[in-house]
Amino acid sequence: MSENAKLPPLPTGTFSERAVAWSKKNLFDGWFNTLLTLGSIAFLVWLIPPIVEWAIINATLAPSIEACAEATGACWGFVNANLRLILFGTYPFEEQWRPLLAMILLMGIICGSLGAVKYPSLRKAIIPMWVIGVPIIAILMWGGVFGLTYVQNSYWGGLPLTLILSSIGVIFAFPFGLLLALGRQSHMPAIKTVSVVYIEVIRGVPLITVLFMASVMFPLFLPDGVTIDKLLRAQIGIILFTAAYLAEVFRGGLQAVPRGQFEAGDSLALSYWQSMRLIILPQALRLVIPPTVNSFISMFKDTTLVVIIGLFDFLGTVKLALRSDPAWTKYYVEGYAFAAAIFFLICFSMAKYSAYLEKELRKGEQR
Amino acid sequence: MKIQTILAAGAMTVAAVAAQNAQAGAVLDGIKAKGFVQCGVNTGLPGFSAANAEGKWEGIDVDVCRAAAAAVFGDANAVQYTPLTAAQRFTALQSGEIDILSRNTTATTTRDAKLGLTFVGINYYDGQGFLIPKALGVSSATELDGATVCVEPGTTTELNLADYFRAKGMSFEPVVIENINEATAAFFSGRCDVYTTDASGLASIRTQMAENPADYVILPEIISKEPLGPVVAQGDEQWSDVVRWAFAAMVEAEEYGVTMENVDDMKANSTNPGIQRLLGVSPGMGEALGLDEAWAYNIVKQVGNYGESYEKNVTAKLGLERGLNALWTDGGLQYAWPVR
């Protein structure tokens, strides 16, 4: 079928004629749809004006408790007054340029890596970017060298912590999940059993349990005086958990690749890893982009669970700010709305990127 | 419940091992070697331990850690904080992740004896109470039969509530909500008849969260004793002594009227032998604890006395009067062991 045949016929008539025709076709098509349309309009009219009134018209941005007490709408002053606490948590106040810089650097590396699809020249830079970038981020966050004061990671928090937990989580969970998926397909019984048991056990428990075990049970089994960092334990928990889910996503992709492709690899006398790398995985991974991104989005949101083990991710620092002064506590709706907006922004960007990626990688199929 | 049993069993095993391995002074030596005190605090309880807008930890629980650091290092800022949830707090102490747990923790027999912990003082006497809307028309907790009660899980609060209602032969319907914001929102929206937590919490919730505080009353019954205080792990008596006396020095300083402001003057001019002993003018106390003679001077100078700490944190943030936490000379329970 040619590309043009899919296009609708070109619209004719004046703008208002077209508008009427369009609404007739899409909004008032039969009594049921008419009813739905009118119902939706009524709902929006009922819903939107009060929200706008609360969030914008009657709201105040002034960072003072007094101004908020007077305002009849939202108290964005809460976010305004506590912005640095919300963004960076309990990281030492004078040193907060460090997590800011680390966050910008991390975003830069992530964008650079994602942009490689569009600009192939960036492809070779991906690995060096991460290899150089991650230690720089670690130095910025921890310090202790180059005249930077040492900052324990119990002080890390806010958006940098959320981004670090999720990006490091993705980087490690992806290859680990891939290995597990290949292990599950393997003909070697030992590897297959280990992979299956691992995947099923981890998928059988909620993340909150994994984190709780890592944080509360695990230290009890260590010898006296040996402690493993709380953040590291949480990070490993997240990686192990996400990898099990990704493994199942990848398995779906592997199973969707036609048998003949495996045989083609064999007939070319490629080794297992060669045929995986050159023939199978490029096809399998492309097939599973939507569920993979789905897993990433859900992992990104799951990082908020670290709050139960006393780490302050972005949502945790919002709660921290709410409790910084009892007078702010009642403005939790504003705090959570702000957190929701930031989370939406990030998750929506991920979803949009995945749609773009699918389109880019499918160009080969469009003839 | 099962998880808690397993945890308790695990904790006891570790505590037993830890008790065998620890040598006297091991924790204190470790603290001196690393140069700071690792302090476990609440993840956010205004007045006790909460981060301010600059992300710095503040509160009377935080001040206990600062006092310990001032005693050991002469610098109240030589503290690193680890925010802990209720479930994590004892593990963190037993595993050595923190040196001192100052996180509004109720001293009980089980915790003191079974979990291998040592409570070194009581920096806040609290008790569990009930907050109700006036419209409910109830004037005593004994009239609460059949009420729905909003309560946060995993604390002694939940257990006390069940104990109290059982003892009175009354029934209640618990509404268990993990998060304090949601729990109070549920209460103020009428989801439950009663909100219960420690009286300090009730007072601040009533003044800060209610649309009109006058519409709500705290019932006169206080159904439990909640002596809250700093905890250390068993096994290093020298370190537990340091924390015990660092806190005692804060209370003793208040008894003597030594404040952050007049401490230099007192040190130079006071002829009271008690004050001279406390501030190290007549030496001996520091040596006995293995500390610098200016240990208590540093505490008062940098952290303040107990009354100042209470005023700055609890009264200012929560609007709570001293009540049970007044000095014994003012009819309260704060009674410092003599520094001599």
Rg over alpha carbons for chain A, rounded to the nearest Å, is 26
Which A positions 90-119 lie with beta carbon below 8 A of chain B?
90-93, 96
Which residues face B276 on adjacent strands?
A: none
CB contact under 8 A, A312 and B55: no
Distance from the B168 Cα atom to the nearest Cα atom in chain A, whole angstroms: 34
| Residue A64: HSE in the Cβ half-sphere, 13 Å Cα cutoff | 4
CB B309 within 8 A of CB B315: no
pLDDT tens readout for residues A128-138? 888 888 889 88
Facing residue for B45 by CB, picked from A92, A219, A323: A323
Q: H or E stretch including B229? A: strand B226-233
Split at pLDDT 50, 70, 90, the class of B16 is very low
Instruction: Count the neighbouring beta carbons within 10 Å of the beta carbon of residue A244.
Output: 23
Residue pairs spanning A and B at CB distance below 8 A? 130
Residues of chain B with CATH 3.40.190.10: 2-125+227-321, 128-224
CATH architecture of B128-224: 3-Layer(aba) Sandwich (3.40)
Q: Is the pLDDT of residue B327 over 90?
A: yes
Is A308 an 8 Å CB contact of chain B?
A: yes
Q: How far apart are CA B60 and CA B309, in angstroms?
A: 6
CATH value of A152-365 in 1.10.3720.10, 3.40.50.1220, 1.25.40.10, 3.40.228.10 = 1.10.3720.10
CB contact under 8 A, B208 and A323: no
Is B43 an 8 Å CB contact of chain A?
A: yes
CB contact under 8 A, B80 and A152: yes
* B206: nearest CA partner in chain A: A326
* A331: nearest CA partner in chain B: B209
Average pLDDT across chain B, whole number: 87
Give the whole-number percent of chain A exceeding pLDDT 90: 21
Residue in A288, A257, A292, A289 with CA at minimum distance from that of residue A185: A257
pTM equals 0.82
Residue in A323, A92, A66 with CA at minimum distance from that of residue B59: A323
Per-residue tokens: A191: 């590897």
First to last CA, chain B: 46
Which DSSP category does B97 fall into? Answer: S
Chain B contacts of A307, Cβ < 8 Å? Answer: 43
Q: Is the pLDDT of residue B28 over 80?
A: yes
pLDDT tens readout for residues B136-189? 888 888 888 889 999 887 677 888 899 999 998 999 998 888 777 778 888 988
Q: How far apart are CA B173 and CA A352, in angstroms?
A: 47
Facing residue for A323 by CB, picked from B44, B97, B185: B44
Which B positions 311-330 lie with beta carbon below 8 A of chain A?
317-318
Comparing B220 with A43, the larger pLDDT belongs to: A43
Topology of domain B2-125+227-321, CATH: D-Maltodextrin-Binding Protein; domain 2 (3.40.190)
Chain A contacts of B41, Cβ < 8 Å? Answer: none
Which DSSP category does B98 fall into? Answer: -
User: Looking at this predicted complex, what is its ipTM?
Assistant: 0.77
First to last CA, chain A: 9
The predicted pLDDT at position B21 comes to: 44
Instruction: Count the neighbouring beta carbons within 10 Å of the beta carbon of residue B109.
Output: 7
Residue A228 φ/ψ, nearest 5 degrees: -105, 135
Q: How far apart are CA B150 and CA B196, in angstroms?
A: 7
Angle, helix B237-256 to helix B60-73, in steps of 10 degrees: 110
Facing residue for A227 by CB, picked from B95, B204, B207: B95
How would DSSP label each residue in B112-154? Answer: IIITTEEE---SEEE-EEEEEEGGG---SGGG-TTEEEEE-TT
Is A306 an 8 Å CB contact of chain B?
A: no
Q: How far apart are CA A56 and CA A111, in angstroms?
A: 32
Per-residue tokens: B66: 């600062």
Cβ neighbours of residue B39 under 8 Å, at least 6 residues apart?
Answer: B62, B65, B68, B79, B80, B81, B82, B98, B99, B100, B101, B102
Distance from the B283 Cα atom to the nearest Cα atom in chain A, whole angstroms: 35
Per-residue tokens: A178: 């891939």
